[in-house]
Structure 1
Protein backbone atom coordinates (compact mmCIF):
# COMPACT_ATOMS: atom_id res chain seq x y z
CA UNK A 1 0.00 0.00 0.00
CA UNK A 2 1.49 3.32 -1.12
CA UNK A 3 0.14 6.45 0.55
CA UNK A 4 0.82 9.94 -0.81
CA UNK A 5 1.04 13.00 1.41
CA UNK A 6 0.35 15.78 -1.10
CA UNK A 7 1.16 18.59 1.34
CA UNK A 8 3.75 18.42 4.11
CA UNK A 9 6.29 21.00 5.31
CA UNK A 10 8.99 18.51 6.26
CA UNK A 11 11.68 21.22 6.07
CA UNK A 12 9.95 23.16 8.88
CA UNK A 13 11.93 24.17 11.96
CA UNK A 14 9.37 22.14 13.92
CA UNK A 15 11.18 19.00 12.73
CA UNK A 16 14.78 20.14 13.21
CA UNK A 17 15.31 17.88 16.23
CA UNK A 18 13.91 14.64 14.77
CA UNK A 19 13.31 15.01 11.02
CA UNK A 20 14.82 11.64 10.07
CA UNK A 21 12.71 9.84 12.68
CA UNK A 22 9.57 11.63 11.46
CA UNK A 23 10.21 10.60 7.86
CA UNK A 24 11.12 7.04 8.79
CA UNK A 25 7.88 6.70 10.79
CA UNK A 26 5.92 7.81 7.76
CA UNK A 27 7.80 5.46 5.43
CA UNK A 28 7.08 2.58 7.83
CA UNK A 29 3.34 3.36 7.52
CA UNK A 30 3.52 3.21 3.72
CA UNK A 31 3.76 6.96 3.11
CA UNK A 32 6.29 6.88 0.28
CA UNK A 33 5.54 10.13 -1.52
CA UNK A 34 5.90 13.56 0.09
CA UNK A 35 4.98 16.68 -1.85
CA UNK A 36 6.60 19.74 -0.33
CA UNK A 37 5.00 23.21 -0.66
CA UNK A 38 7.05 26.39 -0.57
CA UNK A 39 6.51 29.38 1.74
CA UNK A 40 9.02 32.02 0.64
CA UNK A 41 12.64 32.38 -0.48
CA UNK A 42 14.04 31.91 3.03
CA UNK A 43 13.06 28.22 2.93
CA UNK A 44 14.31 27.35 -0.56
CA UNK A 45 17.69 26.02 0.56
CA UNK A 46 16.06 23.85 3.24
CA UNK A 47 13.79 22.38 0.58
CA UNK A 48 16.69 21.56 -1.72
CA UNK A 49 18.58 19.88 1.12
CA UNK A 50 15.54 17.75 1.96
CA UNK A 51 15.21 16.70 -1.68
CA UNK A 52 18.90 15.75 -1.79
CA UNK A 53 18.51 13.58 1.30
CA UNK A 54 15.35 11.78 0.10
CA UNK A 55 15.40 11.97 -3.71
CA UNK A 56 13.08 8.97 -4.20
CA UNK A 57 10.43 10.26 -1.82
CA UNK A 58 10.48 14.08 -1.80
CA UNK A 59 8.94 16.18 -4.58
CA UNK A 60 9.18 19.95 -4.38
CA UNK A 61 6.84 22.81 -5.24
CA UNK A 62 7.82 26.45 -5.68
CA UNK A 63 5.72 29.47 -4.76
CA UNK A 64 4.98 32.35 -2.41
CA UNK A 65 2.58 31.62 0.44
CA UNK A 66 -0.15 34.28 0.72
CA UNK A 67 0.62 35.09 4.37
CA UNK A 68 4.14 35.96 3.22
CA UNK A 69 2.92 38.45 0.61
CA UNK A 70 4.27 41.71 2.04
CA UNK A 71 5.78 44.94 0.71
CA UNK A 72 8.56 42.96 -1.01
CA UNK A 73 6.23 40.49 -2.72
CA UNK A 74 7.43 41.44 -6.21
CA UNK A 75 11.00 40.48 -5.27
CA UNK A 76 9.67 37.18 -3.92
CA UNK A 77 7.82 36.56 -7.19
CA UNK A 78 11.06 37.14 -9.08
CA UNK A 79 12.64 34.44 -6.91
CA UNK A 80 9.78 32.04 -7.72
CA UNK A 81 10.16 32.76 -11.44
CA UNK A 82 13.93 32.26 -11.31
CA UNK A 83 13.67 28.98 -9.41
CA UNK A 84 11.06 27.59 -11.80
CA UNK A 85 13.50 28.16 -14.66
CA UNK A 86 16.49 26.64 -12.87
CA UNK A 87 15.14 23.62 -10.99
CA UNK A 88 12.64 20.79 -11.41
CA UNK A 89 9.40 21.36 -9.51
CA UNK A 90 6.12 19.46 -9.58
CA UNK A 91 3.71 22.32 -8.81
CA UNK A 92 3.47 26.02 -8.09
CA UNK A 93 2.39 26.26 -4.49
CA UNK A 94 1.30 26.95 -2.03
CA UNK A 95 -0.34 30.06 -3.41
CA UNK A 96 -3.66 31.80 -2.87
CA UNK A 97 -5.37 34.17 -0.46
CA UNK A 98 -5.45 34.20 3.35
CA UNK A 99 -7.65 36.76 5.09
CA UNK A 100 -7.57 35.14 8.54
CA UNK A 101 -4.62 37.09 9.95
CA UNK A 102 -5.03 40.38 8.15
CA UNK A 103 -6.78 41.89 5.13
CA UNK A 104 -4.47 44.81 4.34
CA UNK A 105 -2.58 42.90 1.62
CA UNK A 106 -5.63 41.45 -0.15
CA UNK A 107 -4.92 43.22 -3.44
CA UNK A 108 -1.27 42.14 -3.39
CA UNK A 109 -2.25 38.57 -2.48
CA UNK A 110 -4.62 38.37 -5.43
CA UNK A 111 -2.01 39.86 -7.77
CA UNK A 112 0.60 37.39 -6.51
CA UNK A 113 -1.88 34.53 -6.85
CA UNK A 114 -2.73 35.44 -10.43
CA UNK A 115 0.91 35.98 -11.35
CA UNK A 116 1.87 32.55 -10.03
CA UNK A 117 -1.03 30.85 -11.79
CA UNK A 118 0.37 32.26 -15.01
CA UNK A 119 3.84 30.99 -14.14
CA UNK A 120 2.32 27.55 -13.60
CA UNK A 121 0.65 27.69 -17.00
CA UNK A 122 3.91 28.79 -18.62
CA UNK A 123 5.72 25.80 -17.11
CA UNK A 124 2.74 23.46 -17.61
CA UNK A 125 2.52 22.79 -13.88
CA UNK A 126 -0.43 22.35 -11.52
CA UNK A 127 -1.09 24.85 -8.72
CA UNK A 128 -1.66 24.12 -5.03
CA UNK A 129 -4.07 26.61 -3.46
CA UNK A 130 -4.05 27.95 0.08
CA UNK A 131 -7.43 29.43 1.02
CA UNK A 132 -8.37 30.73 4.45
CA UNK A 133 -11.53 32.79 4.88
CA UNK A 134 -11.17 33.74 1.21
CA UNK A 135 -13.30 31.45 -0.97
CA UNK A 136 -14.93 34.33 -2.87
CA UNK A 137 -11.59 36.02 -3.45
CA UNK A 138 -9.98 32.77 -4.62
CA UNK A 139 -12.87 31.90 -6.93
CA UNK A 140 -12.75 35.40 -8.42
CA UNK A 141 -9.19 34.80 -9.60
CA UNK A 142 -9.87 31.21 -10.73
CA UNK A 143 -12.85 32.39 -12.77
CA UNK A 144 -10.51 34.75 -14.65
CA UNK A 145 -7.89 32.04 -15.17
CA UNK A 146 -10.06 28.97 -15.83
CA UNK A 147 -9.32 26.75 -18.78
CA UNK A 148 -7.75 23.44 -19.78
CA UNK A 149 -4.34 24.71 -18.66
CA UNK A 150 -5.57 25.39 -15.10
CA UNK A 151 -5.41 22.40 -12.74
CA UNK A 152 -4.22 21.48 -9.29
CA UNK A 153 -5.21 20.94 -5.67
CA UNK A 154 -7.37 22.99 -3.35
CA UNK A 155 -5.20 22.34 -0.31
CA UNK A 156 -6.79 21.82 3.13
CA UNK A 157 -10.31 22.08 1.78
CA UNK A 158 -12.70 23.26 4.52
CA UNK A 159 -15.60 24.68 2.54
CA UNK A 160 -19.19 23.61 1.85
CA UNK A 161 -20.45 21.04 -0.64
CA UNK A 162 -21.28 23.85 -3.06
CA UNK A 163 -17.78 25.32 -2.71
CA UNK A 164 -16.30 21.84 -3.22
CA UNK A 165 -18.19 21.48 -6.48
CA UNK A 166 -17.08 24.92 -7.59
CA UNK A 167 -13.44 24.12 -6.82
CA UNK A 168 -13.72 20.88 -8.78
CA UNK A 169 -15.20 22.81 -11.73
CA UNK A 170 -11.82 24.58 -12.06
CA UNK A 171 -9.99 21.22 -12.42
CA UNK A 172 -8.99 21.15 -8.76
CA UNK A 173 -8.71 18.07 -6.57
CA UNK A 174 -9.68 18.54 -2.94
CA UNK A 175 -6.81 18.14 -0.46
CA UNK A 176 -8.29 16.39 2.58
CA UNK A 177 -6.36 16.34 5.84
CA UNK A 178 -6.84 16.36 9.59
CA UNK A 179 -9.93 18.58 9.51
CA UNK A 180 -11.99 15.62 8.25
CA UNK A 181 -11.40 13.93 11.64
CA UNK A 182 -12.50 16.94 13.74
CA UNK A 183 -15.86 16.77 15.49
CA UNK A 184 -16.68 20.25 14.20
CA UNK A 185 -14.85 19.91 10.89
CA UNK A 186 -18.12 19.70 8.92
CA UNK A 187 -16.62 18.35 5.68
CA UNK A 188 -17.20 14.81 6.97
CA UNK A 189 -20.96 15.46 6.69
CA UNK A 190 -20.89 15.69 2.89
CA UNK A 191 -17.52 14.44 1.64
CA UNK A 192 -18.88 11.08 0.47
CA UNK A 193 -21.10 12.97 -1.98
CA UNK A 194 -17.88 13.89 -3.84
CA UNK A 195 -16.53 11.25 -6.22
CA UNK A 196 -13.24 9.81 -4.95
CA UNK A 197 -11.54 10.77 -8.22
CA UNK A 198 -11.52 14.36 -6.90
CA UNK A 199 -9.83 13.57 -3.55
CA UNK A 200 -6.17 13.55 -2.50
CA UNK A 201 -4.73 13.08 0.99
CA UNK A 202 -2.51 15.49 2.91
CA UNK A 203 -1.30 16.34 6.40
CA UNK A 204 -0.08 19.96 6.19
CA UNK A 205 2.44 18.85 8.83
CA UNK A 206 3.43 20.27 11.26
CA UNK A 207 -0.04 21.90 11.31
CA UNK A 208 -3.60 20.57 11.66
CA UNK A 209 -2.90 17.23 13.30
CA UNK A 210 -5.87 14.83 13.01
CA UNK A 211 -7.73 13.35 15.93
CA UNK A 212 -6.57 11.92 18.31
CA UNK A 213 -3.49 14.18 17.99
CA UNK A 214 -5.37 17.45 17.51
CA UNK A 215 -3.48 20.39 18.99
CA UNK A 216 -0.13 18.60 18.82
CA UNK A 217 2.57 18.74 16.18
CA UNK A 218 1.39 16.99 13.05
CA UNK A 219 3.57 14.59 11.09
CA UNK A 220 3.20 12.71 7.84
CA UNK A 221 2.63 9.31 9.48
CA UNK A 222 -0.62 10.69 10.93
CA UNK A 223 -2.06 10.67 7.41
CA UNK A 224 -3.11 7.11 8.27
CA UNK A 225 -5.76 8.60 10.58
CA UNK A 226 -7.07 10.69 7.69
CA UNK A 227 -7.02 7.63 5.42
CA UNK A 228 -8.99 5.57 7.93
CA UNK A 229 -11.62 8.31 8.36
CA UNK A 230 -12.11 8.64 4.61
CA UNK A 231 -12.37 4.86 4.24
CA UNK A 232 -15.12 4.96 6.88
CA UNK A 233 -16.98 7.80 5.14
CA UNK A 234 -16.88 6.07 1.76
CA UNK A 235 -17.36 2.57 3.19
CA UNK A 236 -14.28 1.26 1.41
CA UNK A 237 -11.10 -0.55 2.38
CA UNK A 238 -8.16 1.65 3.40
CA UNK A 239 -5.98 0.05 0.73
CA UNK A 240 -8.48 1.02 -1.95
CA UNK A 241 -8.61 4.61 -0.68
CA UNK A 242 -4.80 4.75 -0.62
CA UNK A 243 -4.62 3.40 -4.17
CA UNK A 244 -7.24 5.79 -5.56
CA UNK A 245 -5.86 8.89 -3.86
CA UNK A 246 -2.28 8.08 -4.86
CA UNK A 247 -3.45 7.62 -8.47
CA UNK A 248 -5.19 11.00 -8.20
CA UNK A 249 -1.96 12.59 -6.97
CA UNK A 250 -0.13 11.13 -9.98
CA UNK A 251 -2.79 12.62 -12.21
CA UNK A 252 -2.10 16.05 -10.72
CA UNK A 253 1.69 16.01 -10.36
CA UNK A 254 2.59 13.76 -13.28
CA UNK A 255 4.66 11.45 -11.11
Structure 2
Protein backbone atom coordinates (compact mmCIF):
# COMPACT_ATOMS: atom_id res chain seq x y z
CA UNK A 1 0.00 0.00 0.00
CA UNK A 2 1.38 3.37 -1.08
CA UNK A 3 -0.02 6.76 -0.12
CA UNK A 4 0.77 9.95 -2.02
CA UNK A 5 0.72 13.35 -0.35
CA UNK A 6 0.16 15.60 -3.34
CA UNK A 7 0.69 18.81 -1.37
CA UNK A 8 3.01 19.22 1.61
CA UNK A 9 5.29 21.98 2.88
CA UNK A 10 7.24 19.55 5.05
CA UNK A 11 10.40 21.48 4.13
CA UNK A 12 9.39 24.20 6.61
CA UNK A 13 10.85 21.98 9.33
CA UNK A 14 14.49 22.98 9.21
CA UNK A 15 15.86 21.17 12.27
CA UNK A 16 17.60 18.11 10.86
CA UNK A 17 16.61 15.67 13.61
CA UNK A 18 12.97 16.75 13.56
CA UNK A 19 12.84 16.59 9.78
CA UNK A 20 14.35 13.11 9.80
CA UNK A 21 11.71 12.02 12.32
CA UNK A 22 8.92 13.53 10.20
CA UNK A 23 10.11 11.67 7.14
CA UNK A 24 10.56 8.41 9.02
CA UNK A 25 6.97 8.63 10.30
CA UNK A 26 5.87 9.16 6.70
CA UNK A 27 7.68 6.08 5.47
CA UNK A 28 6.47 4.02 8.43
CA UNK A 29 2.91 5.01 7.48
CA UNK A 30 3.42 4.12 3.79
CA UNK A 31 3.30 7.79 2.80
CA UNK A 32 6.25 7.43 0.49
CA UNK A 33 5.46 9.95 -2.26
CA UNK A 34 5.50 13.65 -1.33
CA UNK A 35 4.92 16.51 -3.75
CA UNK A 36 6.38 19.80 -2.54
CA UNK A 37 4.84 23.09 -3.70
CA UNK A 38 6.98 26.17 -3.74
CA UNK A 39 5.62 29.39 -2.20
CA UNK A 40 8.13 32.14 -2.98
CA UNK A 41 11.84 32.63 -3.62
CA UNK A 42 12.70 32.33 0.08
CA UNK A 43 11.22 28.83 0.27
CA UNK A 44 13.38 27.53 -2.58
CA UNK A 45 16.50 26.54 -0.58
CA UNK A 46 14.35 24.83 2.05
CA UNK A 47 12.58 22.78 -0.59
CA UNK A 48 15.81 21.96 -2.42
CA UNK A 49 17.41 20.70 0.82
CA UNK A 50 14.56 18.24 1.34
CA UNK A 51 14.69 17.12 -2.29
CA UNK A 52 18.41 16.46 -1.97
CA UNK A 53 17.96 14.49 1.24
CA UNK A 54 15.08 12.32 -0.03
CA UNK A 55 15.35 12.08 -3.83
CA UNK A 56 13.36 8.84 -3.96
CA UNK A 57 10.39 10.24 -2.08
CA UNK A 58 10.10 13.96 -2.80
CA UNK A 59 9.03 15.71 -5.99
CA UNK A 60 9.31 19.40 -6.82
CA UNK A 61 6.75 21.97 -7.89
CA UNK A 62 7.63 25.61 -8.51
CA UNK A 63 5.34 28.62 -8.42
CA UNK A 64 4.52 31.92 -6.77
CA UNK A 65 1.77 31.61 -4.15
CA UNK A 66 -0.96 34.24 -4.59
CA UNK A 67 -0.43 35.53 -1.04
CA UNK A 68 3.17 36.27 -2.05
CA UNK A 69 2.09 38.38 -5.04
CA UNK A 70 2.96 42.01 -4.22
CA UNK A 71 4.25 45.00 -6.21
CA UNK A 72 7.48 43.13 -7.01
CA UNK A 73 5.80 39.88 -8.12
CA UNK A 74 7.53 39.85 -11.51
CA UNK A 75 10.96 40.01 -9.88
CA UNK A 76 9.97 37.36 -7.34
CA UNK A 77 8.76 35.08 -10.10
CA UNK A 78 11.97 35.63 -12.07
CA UNK A 79 13.97 34.30 -9.10
CA UNK A 80 11.77 31.20 -9.05
CA UNK A 81 12.10 30.68 -12.80
CA UNK A 82 15.90 30.94 -12.47
CA UNK A 83 15.78 27.78 -10.31
CA UNK A 84 13.79 25.84 -12.88
CA UNK A 85 16.58 23.49 -13.91
CA UNK A 86 18.02 22.64 -10.49
CA UNK A 87 15.73 19.65 -9.96
CA UNK A 88 13.23 17.73 -12.08
CA UNK A 89 9.92 19.59 -12.03
CA UNK A 90 6.51 17.91 -11.97
CA UNK A 91 4.05 20.81 -11.70
CA UNK A 92 3.70 24.57 -11.45
CA UNK A 93 2.34 25.40 -8.03
CA UNK A 94 1.06 26.49 -5.88
CA UNK A 95 -0.51 29.28 -7.88
CA UNK A 96 -3.91 30.91 -8.02
CA UNK A 97 -5.96 33.64 -6.34
CA UNK A 98 -6.53 34.32 -2.65
CA UNK A 99 -9.02 37.01 -1.61
CA UNK A 100 -9.39 35.89 1.99
CA UNK A 101 -6.60 37.96 3.52
CA UNK A 102 -6.23 40.86 1.13
CA UNK A 103 -7.83 42.05 -2.12
CA UNK A 104 -5.25 44.79 -2.71
CA UNK A 105 -3.31 42.89 -5.38
CA UNK A 106 -6.16 41.11 -7.16
CA UNK A 107 -5.09 42.48 -10.55
CA UNK A 108 -1.51 41.35 -9.95
CA UNK A 109 -2.67 37.96 -8.67
CA UNK A 110 -4.63 37.40 -11.87
CA UNK A 111 -1.65 38.49 -13.99
CA UNK A 112 0.72 36.18 -12.11
CA UNK A 113 -1.78 33.32 -12.29
CA UNK A 114 -2.23 33.66 -16.05
CA UNK A 115 1.51 33.95 -16.67
CA UNK A 116 2.25 30.81 -14.66
CA UNK A 117 -0.55 28.90 -16.39
CA UNK A 118 1.02 29.79 -19.75
CA UNK A 119 4.38 28.71 -18.38
CA UNK A 120 2.97 25.34 -17.29
CA UNK A 121 1.19 24.75 -20.59
CA UNK A 122 4.34 25.54 -22.56
CA UNK A 123 6.13 22.82 -20.58
CA UNK A 124 3.08 20.52 -20.75
CA UNK A 125 2.94 20.37 -16.95
CA UNK A 126 -0.03 20.41 -14.59
CA UNK A 127 -0.82 23.32 -12.32
CA UNK A 128 -1.66 23.12 -8.62
CA UNK A 129 -4.20 25.77 -7.72
CA UNK A 130 -4.61 27.70 -4.49
CA UNK A 131 -8.12 29.14 -4.44
CA UNK A 132 -9.53 30.86 -1.36
CA UNK A 133 -12.66 33.01 -1.47
CA UNK A 134 -11.99 33.34 -5.19
CA UNK A 135 -13.65 30.46 -7.04
CA UNK A 136 -15.37 32.63 -9.65
CA UNK A 137 -12.18 34.56 -10.37
CA UNK A 138 -10.09 31.38 -10.64
CA UNK A 139 -12.68 29.62 -12.78
CA UNK A 140 -12.85 32.57 -15.19
CA UNK A 141 -9.07 32.53 -15.64
CA UNK A 142 -9.18 28.79 -16.30
CA UNK A 143 -11.96 29.19 -18.85
CA UNK A 144 -9.92 31.87 -20.62
CA UNK A 145 -6.85 29.61 -20.60
CA UNK A 146 -8.61 26.37 -21.49
CA UNK A 147 -6.98 24.10 -24.07
CA UNK A 148 -5.70 20.52 -24.33
CA UNK A 149 -2.66 21.33 -22.16
CA UNK A 150 -4.57 22.81 -19.20
CA UNK A 151 -4.81 20.32 -16.35
CA UNK A 152 -4.01 20.03 -12.68
CA UNK A 153 -5.29 19.91 -9.11
CA UNK A 154 -7.56 22.19 -7.10
CA UNK A 155 -5.57 22.11 -3.88
CA UNK A 156 -7.52 22.02 -0.60
CA UNK A 157 -10.94 21.76 -2.20
CA UNK A 158 -13.71 22.74 0.23
CA UNK A 159 -16.33 24.09 -2.15
CA UNK A 160 -19.82 23.13 -3.25
CA UNK A 161 -20.99 20.18 -5.34
CA UNK A 162 -21.60 22.55 -8.25
CA UNK A 163 -18.03 23.82 -8.00
CA UNK A 164 -16.68 20.28 -7.74
CA UNK A 165 -18.52 19.31 -10.90
CA UNK A 166 -17.20 22.36 -12.74
CA UNK A 167 -13.67 21.43 -11.72
CA UNK A 168 -13.89 17.77 -12.69
CA UNK A 169 -15.61 18.61 -15.99
CA UNK A 170 -12.47 20.57 -16.88
CA UNK A 171 -10.38 17.48 -16.16
CA UNK A 172 -8.96 18.76 -12.89
CA UNK A 173 -8.58 16.69 -9.73
CA UNK A 174 -9.84 17.63 -6.27
CA UNK A 175 -7.14 17.80 -3.59
CA UNK A 176 -8.70 16.48 -0.38
CA UNK A 177 -7.00 17.07 2.97
CA UNK A 178 -7.64 17.41 6.68
CA UNK A 179 -10.86 19.39 6.26
CA UNK A 180 -12.61 16.15 5.28
CA UNK A 181 -12.22 15.00 8.90
CA UNK A 182 -13.81 18.16 10.38
CA UNK A 183 -17.32 17.80 11.78
CA UNK A 184 -18.61 20.88 9.95
CA UNK A 185 -16.24 20.77 6.99
CA UNK A 186 -19.04 19.90 4.58
CA UNK A 187 -17.05 17.50 2.42
CA UNK A 188 -18.81 14.48 3.93
CA UNK A 189 -21.94 15.46 1.98
CA UNK A 190 -20.18 16.34 -1.28
CA UNK A 191 -17.45 13.76 -1.80
CA UNK A 192 -19.67 10.66 -2.09
CA UNK A 193 -21.32 12.36 -5.08
CA UNK A 194 -17.95 12.69 -6.86
CA UNK A 195 -16.24 9.66 -8.36
CA UNK A 196 -13.04 8.72 -6.52
CA UNK A 197 -11.26 8.82 -9.89
CA UNK A 198 -11.31 12.64 -9.54
CA UNK A 199 -9.68 12.72 -6.10
CA UNK A 200 -6.11 12.99 -4.81
CA UNK A 201 -5.02 13.17 -1.18
CA UNK A 202 -2.95 15.87 0.49
CA UNK A 203 -2.04 17.28 3.90
CA UNK A 204 -0.90 20.86 3.23
CA UNK A 205 1.47 20.18 6.14
CA UNK A 206 2.05 21.96 8.49
CA UNK A 207 -1.45 23.41 8.04
CA UNK A 208 -5.02 22.02 8.13
CA UNK A 209 -4.25 19.19 10.52
CA UNK A 210 -6.82 16.38 10.48
CA UNK A 211 -8.71 15.03 13.45
CA UNK A 212 -7.52 13.67 15.90
CA UNK A 213 -4.55 16.08 15.85
CA UNK A 214 -6.43 19.23 14.87
CA UNK A 215 -4.90 22.27 16.55
CA UNK A 216 -1.37 20.87 16.32
CA UNK A 217 1.12 21.16 13.45
CA UNK A 218 0.23 18.90 10.56
CA UNK A 219 2.65 16.41 9.02
CA UNK A 220 2.54 14.17 5.99
CA UNK A 221 2.24 10.95 8.02
CA UNK A 222 -1.22 12.18 9.06
CA UNK A 223 -2.37 11.57 5.48
CA UNK A 224 -3.57 8.18 6.69
CA UNK A 225 -6.31 9.89 8.74
CA UNK A 226 -7.49 11.70 5.61
CA UNK A 227 -7.43 8.41 3.69
CA UNK A 228 -9.38 6.60 6.39
CA UNK A 229 -12.12 9.23 6.37
CA UNK A 230 -12.30 9.14 2.57
CA UNK A 231 -12.59 5.35 2.72
CA UNK A 232 -15.49 5.67 5.16
CA UNK A 233 -17.29 8.18 2.95
CA UNK A 234 -16.91 6.03 -0.16
CA UNK A 235 -17.52 2.80 1.76
CA UNK A 236 -14.39 1.17 0.38
CA UNK A 237 -11.19 -0.11 1.98
CA UNK A 238 -8.33 2.22 2.81
CA UNK A 239 -6.19 0.06 0.50
CA UNK A 240 -8.50 0.92 -2.40
CA UNK A 241 -8.33 4.62 -1.54
CA UNK A 242 -4.52 4.43 -1.48
CA UNK A 243 -4.39 2.60 -4.81
CA UNK A 244 -6.83 4.86 -6.67
CA UNK A 245 -5.56 8.18 -5.36
CA UNK A 246 -1.93 7.23 -5.89
CA UNK A 247 -2.73 6.18 -9.47
CA UNK A 248 -4.51 9.51 -9.94
CA UNK A 249 -1.38 11.30 -8.74
CA UNK A 250 0.73 9.33 -11.22
CA UNK A 251 -1.66 10.28 -14.01
CA UNK A 252 -1.52 13.98 -13.22
CA UNK A 253 2.18 14.28 -12.38
CA UNK A 254 3.53 11.65 -14.78
CA UNK A 255 5.60 9.94 -12.08
TM-score bucket (shorter structure): over 0.9
- Where 1:60 maps in the other structure, the secondary structure is strand
Once the two structures are superposed, residues 96-147 of structure 1 have per-residue CA deviations (whole angstroms, 9 ceiling, x without a partner) of 0011111001110011001000000111110000011110110010010112
Does 2:110 align with 1:110? Answer: yes
**2: distance between equivalents of 1:181 and 1:17?**
29
Aligned counterparts of 1:235 and 1:134: Cα–Cα separation in 2? 32
Cα distance between partner residues in 2 of 1:248 and 1:145: 23
Per-residue CA deviations over 1:33-53 (Å, capped at 9, x if unaligned) read: 000000001111111111110
TM-score calculated relative to the size of structure 2: 0.97
**Between 183-192 and 82-91, the greater mean CA deviation after superposition:** 82-91
Distance in 2, matches of 1:85 and 1:44, equals: 12
1-structure distance, mates of 2:163, 2:92 = 22
Task: Tell me the residue number matched to 1:97.
Answer: 97
Instruction: Quote the offset at 1:13 in angstroms.
Output: 4.2
Equivalent residue for 2:235? Answer: 235
Structure 2 counterpart of 1:200: 200
Q: Is the 8 A contact 1:81 1:119 kept in 2?
A: no
Alpha-carbon deviation of 1:170?
A: 2.1
CA distance in 1, matches of 2:222, 2:60: 20
* 1:247 matched residue in structure 2: 247
Q: Distance in 1 between matches of 2:235 and 2:86?
A: 45
CA contact (8 A) 1:14 1:206 kept: no
What TM-score results when the alignment is normalised by the length of structure 1?
0.97
Structure 2 runs not aligned, ≥5 long: none
How do 1:68-87 and structure 2 match up within 5 A? 68-85=68-85, 87=87
How far apart, in 1, do the equivalents of 2:235 and 2:74 lie? 47
Q: What's the CA shift string for 1:2-36, capped at 9, x where partnerless?
A: 00000000111476661110110011000010000
Aligned counterparts, 1:1-255, within 5 A? 1-13=1-13, 18-85=18-85, 87-255=87-255
Post-superposition offset of 1:254:
0.2
2:116 and 2:83 mapped to 1: Cα distance? 12
Deviates more, 1:215-224 or 1:83-92: 83-92
Q: Work out the CA distance in 1 between the residues paired with 2:163 and 2:28.
A: 35
**C-alpha separation between the residues in 2 aligned to 1:223 and 1:15?**
22
- For residues 81 and 12 of structure 1, the distance between their equivalents in structure 2, rounded to whole angstroms, comes to 21
Superposed CA deviations along residues 59-116 of structure 1, whole A, max 9, x for unmatched, are: 0100000000011101122123333355421000000001111100111001100100
Root-mean-square deviation over aligned CA pairs: 1.2
Distance 1:87 1:25, change over 3 A: closer
Q: How many residues align?
A: 255
